[in-house]
């Protein structure tokens, strides 16, 4: 008998909301988090808008109950993961003990930044005076350290791992969690990811000349690049056994997923979108669904010339005349890098729950190479049964996940 994987809890924090419900409200209202940074100290403060969470590190630390002076990504990760855990625990019947005590639990988290923001603080002082700078600021530099800090805070010890595959990191974390559950290695997995803003990523994307000096316009003919954002999101994946034993209500089912790589370029997709197409096609094949069954595509849609063209071409190639509504919520949240796959997974599940299709903000002019335009209005009371969420990363690492109604 086929094993299913269900989503029984969700948590999220982004520039448009400090929790899942605030994110949903902002999406429905068409709110964007784009603005100039207050907490990111950069020479580009007035050059490039970003989607920053307007809470200081001290405020974030207090919110999740962790000590000060840890990497910002740690706090974002902990806040979203704790909300996801609280969400599933709120569904338990009176007298039921927490499932995080009696089942095999995994924590799989993606990020690309690690503690790089703290390392930047260290080098500010060290480069001025070799006797200055706190080594404690570089201890958590690498990506895995963030996952371990949060897992320790959550008291998770059965299985802990980090995935860092650029912008598909947290989507791949969800896929890995699903596989472990299907192969009976774990019963429950908290899967997702987090990334904060830092100077390295802002400067790096500026060097690639793919930042927009104005709010981004995904899938617009006159798009000029992306806006970087920060955030975190996690879903609680559970097995059939856990769902049945605890009689849990679930938000969605992961019905299909795939990861592919076109190995075309370090930072660009092939013009034909071969990796994008393969990931979407294999996710559909795994789900057993026809292309016509997909109700909505939450596109990767970064707003760069290369991404929107290659993704759009791949979508047209796969869906043809059965193309469903398409939009990118990165116009709301910015590109949250390692967090975007999980954040948009949460948005996909909310679309299923509330029968919504989100608008693609700021779209004005159709792209010449595409025959479709993204959805630009909030659509409510739609029959949303299956949502495809795309996350395409540097190095051609392409991931597509299909979420279906419970």
Give, in order, the Cα–Cα distances in Å from 267 to each of 85, 262, 264, 304, 392: 35, 12, 9, 11, 10
- Do residues 396 and 309 make contact, with C-beta atoms less than 8 angstroms apart? no
Sequence ranges of the domains in the chain: 5-246, 256-404
At 326, phi and psi to the nearest 5? -130, 140
Please report the pLDDT score of residue 264 as a whole number.
79
CB count within 10 Å of CB 90 equals: 8
Please report the pLDDT score of residue 121 as a whole number.
82
**Closest to 386 (Cα-Cα) out of 303, 317, 298, 300:** 298
What's the CA angle centered on 290, arms 288 and 292, to 5 degrees?
150
Distance CA 13, CA 3 (A): 30
Distance CA 117, CA 201 (A): 10
Please report the pLDDT score of residue 296 as a whole number.
98
Please report the pLDDT score of residue 93 as a whole number.
87
Coil, strand or helix: which one is 299? coil
Pick the CATH number of 256-404 from 3.40.47.10, 3.40.50.300, 3.30.413.10, 3.40.50.720: 3.40.47.10
**Closest to 78 (Cα-Cα) out of 98, 100, 63, 57:** 63
Please report the pLDDT score of residue 79 as a whole number.
98
Please report the pLDDT score of residue 1 as a whole number.
54
Listed in sequence order, the residues at least 6 apart from 402 whose beta carbon sits closer than 8 Å to its beta carbon are 254, 255, 256, 257, 283, 284, 286, 287, 289, 294, 386, 387, 388, 389
Which CATH class name applies to 5-246? alpha beta
Q: Do domains 5-246 and 256-404 have the same CATH topology?
A: yes
Listed in sequence order, the residues at least 6 apart from 215 whose beta carbon sits closer than 8 Å to its beta carbon are 32, 34, 49, 227, 331, 361, 362
Spans of the chain below 50 pLDDT: none
Active-site residues, by number, are 167, 300, 335
Per-residue pLDDT of 58-90, as tens digits, reads 999 999 999 999 999 999 999 999 999 999 999
Please report the pLDDT score of residue 15 as a whole number.
98
Please report the pLDDT score of residue 136 as a whole number.
82
Please report the pLDDT score of residue 362 as a whole number.
98
């Amino acid at each position: 008998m086929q094993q299913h994987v269900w989503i029984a809890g969700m948590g999220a924090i982004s520039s448009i909301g400090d929790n899942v419900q605030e994110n949903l409200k902002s999406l429905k209202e068409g709110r964007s988090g784009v603005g100039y940074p207050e907490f990111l100290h950069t020479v580009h403060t007035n050059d490039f808008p970003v989607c920053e969470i307007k809470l200081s590190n001290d405020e974030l630390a207090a919110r999740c109950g962790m000590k000060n002076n840890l990497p910002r990504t740690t706090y974002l990760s902990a806040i979203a993961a704790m909300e996801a855990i609280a969400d599933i625990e709120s569904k338990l019947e009176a007298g039921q003990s927490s499932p995080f005590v009696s089942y095999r639990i995994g924590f799989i988290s993606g990020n690309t930044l690690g503690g790089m923001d703290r390392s930047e603080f260290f080098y500010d002082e060290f480069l001025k005076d070799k006797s200055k700078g706190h080594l404690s600021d570089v201890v958590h530099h690498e990506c895995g350290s963030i996952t371990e800090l949060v897992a320790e805070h959550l008291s998770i010890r059965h299985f802990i791992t980090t995935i860092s595959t650029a912008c598909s990191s947290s989507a791949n974390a969800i896929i890995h969690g699903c596989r472990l559950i299907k192969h009976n290695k774990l019963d429950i997995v908290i899967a997702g990811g987090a990334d904060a803003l830092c100077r390295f990523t802002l400067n790096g994307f500026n060097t690639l000349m793919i930042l927009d000096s104005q709010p981004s316009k995904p899938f617009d003919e006159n798009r000029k690049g992306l806006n970087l954002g920060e955030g975190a999101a996690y879903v609680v994946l559970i097995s059939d056994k856990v769902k049945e034993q605890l009689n849990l209500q679930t938000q969605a089912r992961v019905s299909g997923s795939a990861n592919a790589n076109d190995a075309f370029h370090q930072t660009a997709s092939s013009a034909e979108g071969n990796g994008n197409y393969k990931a979407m096609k294999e996710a559909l094949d795994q789900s057993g669904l026809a292309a016509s069954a997909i109700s909505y595509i939450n596109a990767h849609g970064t707003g760069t010339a290369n991404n929107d063209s290659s993704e759009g071409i791949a979508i047209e190639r796969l869906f043809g005349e059965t193309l469903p509504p398409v939009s990118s919520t990165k116009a709301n949240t910015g590109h949250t890098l390692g967090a975007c796959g999980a954040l948009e997974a949460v948005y996909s599940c909310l679309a299923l729950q509330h029968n919504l299709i989100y608008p693609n903000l700021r779209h004005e002019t159709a792209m010449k190479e595409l025959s479709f335009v993204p959805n630009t209005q909030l659509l409510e009371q739609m029959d949303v049964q299956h949502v495809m969420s795309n996350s395409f990363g540097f190095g051609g690492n392409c991931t597509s996940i299909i979420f279906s109604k419970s």
